Structure 1
Amino acid sequence: MFAKILIANRGEIACRIIRTARAMGIATVAVYSDADARAPHAAMADEAVRIGPAAARDSYLDADRILAAARATGADAIHPGYGFLSERAAFAEACADAGIAFIGPPPAAIAAMGDKIASKELARAAGVNVVPGHPHAIEDLAEAAEVAARIGYPVMIKASAGGGGKGMRLAQDEREVRAHFDAVRREALASFGDDRILIERFIAQPRHIEIQVLGDQHGTILHLGERECSIQRRHQKVVEEAPSPFVTPAMRQAMGDQAIALARAVGYHSVGTVELIVSGADPSGESFYFLEMNTRLQVEHPVTEAITGLDLVEQMIRVAAGERLGFAQADVRLNGWAIETRLYAEDPYRDFLPSTGRLVRYQAPAQTEGQGAHVRVDDGVAEGGEVSRFYDPMIAKLITWAPTRDAAAIAQVDALDRFVIEGPATNRDFLAALMQHPRFRRGDLTTGFIAEEFADGFAGAPAAPDLLRGLAGLAVLLTQARDPGAERSNWTVRIGAQAFAVDRADDTLTIDGTPLALSLHRARGNAPMELTIDGEPVMVQADRTLTGHVFHTRGARHAVRVLPRRIADYACHLKPPATASDEKTIAAPMPGLLMRLEVRAGDTIAAGQTLAVIEAMKMENALHATTDGIVDAVHVAAGDSVIVDQRLITLR
């Protein structure tokens, strides 16, 4: 067994690998960039080595610096985690040349599966179902339009060397092919150093299902069941679960057999994931097709661990050390249901704009185990740390396990309500809303779920009438606690467009004439308040305002205004103040790098026209005009770094 492992990664995955290595009695080395000098993973390891500036290309993607750190500390193995160098065959070869074990698959397997075009040919030869598409890289825009027309719309334009949702666009017609082709090529080159593009058929009602495979260096390869990752936004996974509510035992067997056949064809060992696209329009479940093989540990591996009881990082280490798997396919049992949600630094109320900044408050829910629901949090941040624009915006992963799918989803909502994060905006409310959505609960999933169910954007999960009544009563209790001299009855509480008449006498609350049984446990520190509304427990986080509070609970934020009824009756006759229009100013909705400017002073523009493109969190974001007009001035230049709300363009 290895004596010391260097983790060539950062954040939550580095912390997660360190925990398993420590449990196995193996010393660990962390590497860090200047942006991560005080990061938890650097403090958690036995040793930590600086490897360069904040930019990933100068630190976490610099193989020479990683190997130098391993040699300097005497590490005899390197675990790459996911992302960065994890799927670079050249890095795995460099480790071997340096006499350092690479905790992952052999370089030849990484190379074979790293090219989407070549991997599909290998898959087809191994008897694996492959999505209809063009077998070679697309040379230019003219060929892209011709190939797409031959395959038949809709088509997916994607980077040959891609992964993680980067470099992918859906095109419904030739106009969209021409609009997206160059952007996909740029993202592919920026993210993977390879601008080759392929085009393939887009599958109707697509579900994204993947098979976890595990093999040792002695010829044993088996699968650990499936994960469903259909809830995606911009082709990046948001929710993952195991098992899938769509997959039958027969489908699982067929998918598993094909995944093992592919792994065996490329001489695979270690953990890996065969990703499949499955047509939800085919009730037989036979329409599943190979997408790609990820030759690394997946972000969503904890859900597989939760239902199998296996530690996949431990298995990777043991396989890399030459050990045989200690179990066979017949020993793999899938127990219960697990769901993982990804907490991102992004604002779902503002079209998921990326958010950065310092974590002013950060407190994860308690991790629990037992006969009921289990809660697990994988994170690599700490209060006072910063979410940087240089890296992926994921703050933490929340994993819940329960005997049933509904119970696992309910546990997600409860745990999300207990997650305290202040500073950058997060998608916490959106995740809780997904867990409560009737269509999600039915298991009626496709990769278009978010676009279909939130076509007009996200405004918070719908609130039950009893919850709103409870929040109205809570608002009065908190107002009176803040001002003991305040009157004891006759309050009007406004929550959004609704108004509630709240009366309190002798500690009895009445909402619109109906008694409310409300109990409140005032939490200490950062913990949310524990509320019971007519016997139902609810976790609520509250921010004070001048006239009330903003409550966060059950997937929504509620602005609550509390006024004595005599004042509220007068205030309802006042006109709201006029607000200035911002249609004449185009501001940066996020921090990032201004990739392109599409207009200059004097240009006439039309509503919907692309004005500029900002790169943030590794993705390109187009800014569009909301009105017709003439460009009065351009205040920035391509290549500038911009901050949120910075003025870019003014119109007249």
Structure 2
Amino acid sequence: MIRRILIANRGEIACRVMRTAKRMGIECVAVYSEPDRKCKHVQMADKAYLIGPAQSTKSYLDMNKILSVCIDAKVDAVHPGYGFLSENSKFMDLLDQNGIKFIGPKKRAINDLGDKINSKKLAGNAGVNLIPGYIGEVSENREEILKIAHQIGYPVMIKPSAGGGGKGMRIAYTDDEIIENFRLSKQEAASSFGDDRILLEKYIEEPRHIEINVLGDSHGNVIYLPERECSIQRRNQKVLEEAPSPFIDEETRKMMGKQAVQLAKAVDYESAGTVEFMVDKYRKFYFLEMNTRLQVEHPITEMITGIDLVEEMINVANGKKLSYTQDQVKIKGHAVESRVYAEDPFRGFLPSIGHLIKYREPSHPNIRIDTGVREGDEISMHYDPLISKTITWAENRQGAIDLMKTALDTYVIRGLGHNIPFCRDVLRQPAFVSGKYSTKFIPLTYPDGFHPSPLSQGAKTDLASIIAAMKEVTDSFALQKPEKFVPFVIKAFDEFYAIQQNEKGQKTILKIDTEGNGIGEETVLQEVKINWNNTDPLISGEVGGKTHHVQFFGHTATGYQLFSKGQSINVDILNAHQFEFQKWMPKASDAHSQKEALAPMPGSVISVAVQPGQKVEVGQELCVLEAMKMRNIIRSEKKGVVKVVSCSAGQSVQVDQVLFEYE
């Protein structure tokens, strides 16, 4: 019987496992690296042990250190979470030799299914649909790579045989791309997984990424759970997921579930696992891979089934039968998950590091936040930039989407960049709203990088109404309060709204141009109710009975800095004279030096490809930066001659640090 477990992980997944384990009456032991000393999972644990420095290979990936803690703490079992040692059979051997249970599948399943090459062979033998491709390890020989690529036909997917999470995966459309991307994928695979084997397969264009969660026990029972739609991805990393899929019908769901169970039974699968499929527009599906662990996006499956996957994993490790039969698994409502990352969508989603100066989670009975951070914590460059998984549930899809909008609108994060503006914008896109999207959603929707979609005129007018109410609150704190109403102009979104008073004494709102001429009709300002004290970061208000949430970043010399519906808004409150003169004010220039190449993110320099005096072309590789386990090529944005190289391999750099100078 498991009475004490060690969670061999960190952050939100460590906290997630602890919540269930503690509810089951199980003591929890945590491990942590030096920068994680004050993290949430350490504070939640009944006992915690320092296991090394920030570098994963010397802490969370050090099997011997973790085993030593297991023995010292006298734990009965280890839950690995996901990533790190969750699919490492050598770690399982160490635990087994010391009489410690591994809460997860058996070694055979991890070895057979954790390797993408072997898993494809196994899946084919189990009657699972396969993607056309080359089943086997591909060597570094240029001619062999090109020969296989030509046999498959472009586009070709390049992926590491080991690992998961989209790391190291790249797509090639030409001979030059496959050679370069093969090299980068191989390097990233070696760095992330300690295994640089690469496989090639046909890339199915405009596919959907659908996952089936399976549960198995030691008594031969295997069931599948309703699918997760995971098609909204960036760099093959999932960003927003939902369950069930708006695309999959009951017949396809049963066929996919059947094949997932066949594959699991082929290796006597125990515990939780996920079979991933690519599905084309005709609902033909193909096996992608199987993750022999708890999946990152598992909460949405839990929300629509009521099944606690961690509890089932612990029960199975205790030798119990599954708590559910296939007939008992039902779909209840709809769930959506947004992965909130510390990354800047306005700068190509580059990592953002810093402290959570202010952190306030949304609150609602049907909003779930899985996180490993608290206010004051630091998001560092050493680990994945996930702040939280934000999950909403409702009786239907639209209800879950609407609640997610509220969750993101009321999620207060200060001190670093984050992708909430992007997640919020996705929810407004017609392709997402209709459910007719694929893994191409992000490049098709944002071909020139992320730029928030403009708000409707109605939304802008409602926001202007809230700003007018905010001004009243601010005025109430002034030492000299105005004796009577004085007309003013609100500038927001580079638009102007005149707040005036008509002959009946009613306040009115009118959109105007830079000359003060009305655009449209003047209307009576709707009844506005706001709950704000002039400094609180969150403003909840009603305009004409409709609820709005606006985040307050601070006062400026002339107004406010706000955030609403995924958009940052600079607001100026202008009196008549200020409005008259503002049109003569010059606009700030966005020009920057063209003689320097700057680091677009904090990270570590992996390699430098140029030297002083070398001529470079636009798009030529300058160096490779690694940040948060992702490798990025820094390319020249101009044609010229390199004058100074200010970085070297192994060096750590900060965002906007000068890396190269041109003549």
> Which of 393, 397, 400 is matched with 1:405 structurally?
397
The reply to whether residue 194 of structure 1 matches residue 195 of structure 2 is: yes
Paired amino acid for 2:571: V
The reply to whether residue 351 of structure 1 matches residue 338 of structure 2 is: no
Matching residue of 2:515? none
Retained in 2: the 8 A contact 1:30–1:48?
yes
Matching residue of 1:171? 172
Q: Give the deviation of 1:375 after TM superposition.
A: 0.8
Retained in 2: the 8 A contact 1:349–1:458?
yes
> Which of 430, 434, 439 is matched with 1:442 structurally?
434
Instruction: Determine the C-alpha separation between the residues in 2 that align with 1:203 and 1:18.
Output: 39
Matching residue of 2:387? 395
Q: Give the deviation of 1:114 after TM superposition.
A: 1.3
Query: Which deviates the most, 497-506 or 120-129?
Result: 497-506
The reply to whether residue 152 of structure 1 matches residue 153 of structure 2 is: yes
Retained in 2: the 8 A contact 1:460–1:557?
no
1:438-517 aligned at under 5 Å gives the runs: 438-479=430-471, 481-483=473-475, 484=478, 485=480, 488-503=485-500, 508-512=507-511, 513-517=522-526
SS in 2 for 1:50: strand
- Structure 1: any 5+ residue segments left out of the alignment? 369-373
1:360-375 aligned at under 5 Å gives the runs: 360-368=357-365, 374-375=366-367
The reply to whether residue 538 of structure 1 matches residue 535 of structure 2 is: no
Instruction: Determine the C-alpha separation between the residues in 2 that align with 1:305 and 1:568.
Output: 54
Retained in 2: the 8 A contact 1:361–1:526?
no
Instruction: Determine the C-alpha separation between the residues in 1 that align with 2:72 and 2:500.
Output: 70
Paired amino acid for 1:39: C
Paired amino acid for 1:314: E
Instruction: Determine the C-alpha separation between the residues in 2 that align with 1:399 and 1:579.
Output: 38
Retained in 2: the 8 A contact 1:467–1:533?
no
Retained in 2: the 8 A contact 1:136–1:198?
yes
Retained in 2: the 8 A contact 1:480–1:486?
no
Instruction: Determine the C-alpha separation between the residues in 2 that align with 1:274 and 1:199.
Output: 19
1:210-221 aligned at under 5 Å gives the runs: 210-221=211-222
Q: Identity over the aligned pairs, expressed in percent?
A: 45
Instruction: Determine the C-alpha separation between the residues in 1 that align with 2:27 and 2:223.
Output: 29
Q: Give the deviation of 1:253 after TM superposition.
A: 0.8
Matching residue of 1:522? 532
Paired amino acid for 1:80: P
SS in 1 for 2:64: helix
SS in 1 for 2:136: coil
Retained in 2: the 8 A contact 1:10–1:41?
yes
The reply to whether residue 548 of structure 1 matches residue 551 of structure 2 is: no
Matching residue of 2:372? 380
Q: Give the deviation of 1:524 after TM superposition.
A: 8.8
Q: Give the deviation of 1:489 after TM superposition.
A: 3.1
Over residues 514-572 of structure 1, what are the superposed CA-to-partner deviations in whole Å (9 max), with x where a residue is unaligned?
A: 22212211169855101222321110001222222222111211222222132222220
Q: Give the deviation of 1:432 after TM superposition.
A: 1.0
Matching residue of 1:272? 273
Q: Give the deviation of 1:634 after TM superposition.
A: 1.5
Matching residue of 2:606? 595
Q: Give the deviation of 1:510 after TM superposition.
A: 2.3
Matching residue of 1:559? 570
Over residues 465-484 of structure 1, what are the superposed CA-to-partner deviations in whole Å (9 max), with x where a residue is unaligned?
A: 12212333333443454453
The reply to whether residue 94 of structure 1 matches residue 94 of structure 2 is: yes
Retained in 2: the 8 A contact 1:516–1:534?
no
Matching residue of 2:259? 258
Matching residue of 1:243? 244
Retained in 2: the 8 A contact 1:158–1:184?
yes
Instruction: Determine the C-alpha separation between the residues in 2 that align with 1:631 and 1:292.
Output: 44
SS in 2 for 1:638: coil
Check 1:86–1:526 CA distance in 2 against 1; reply closer, same or farther (3 A cut): farther
Matching residue of 1:66? 66
Instruction: Determine the C-alpha separation between the residues in 1 that align with 2:567 and 2:409.
Output: 10
Instruction: Determine the C-alpha separation between the residues in 2 that align with 1:527 and 1:441.
Output: 29
Q: Give the deviation of 1:236 after TM superposition.
A: 0.3
CA RMSD of aligned residues (A): 1.7
Instruction: Determine the C-alpha separation between the residues in 2 that align with 1:155 and 1:4.
Output: 47
Retained in 1: the 8 A contact 2:217–2:271?
yes
Matching residue of 1:420? 412
SS in 1 for 2:454: coil
The reply to whether residue 612 of structure 1 matches residue 623 of structure 2 is: yes
Paired amino acid for 1:277: M
Over residues 584-607 of structure 1, what are the superposed CA-to-partner deviations in whole Å (9 max), with x where a residue is unaligned?
A: 221111110011222222222222
SS in 2 for 1:408: helix
Instruction: Determine the C-alpha separation between the residues in 2 that align with 1:67 and 1:643.
Output: 35
Check 1:471–1:397 CA distance in 2 against 1; reply closer, same or farther (3 A cut): same
Retained in 1: the 8 A contact 2:599–2:654?
yes
Query: Which deviates the most, 135-144 or 519-528?
Result: 519-528
Aligned residues: 643
Retained in 2: the 8 A contact 1:608–1:625?
yes
Retained in 2: the 8 A contact 1:9–1:31?
yes
SS in 2 for 1:277: strand
> Which of 304, 311, 330 is matched with 1:314 structurally?
311
Retained in 2: the 8 A contact 1:32–1:49?
yes
Instruction: Determine the C-alpha separation between the residues in 2 that align with 1:525 and 1:40.
Output: 28
SS in 1 for 2:409: helix
Retained in 2: the 8 A contact 1:461–1:555?
no
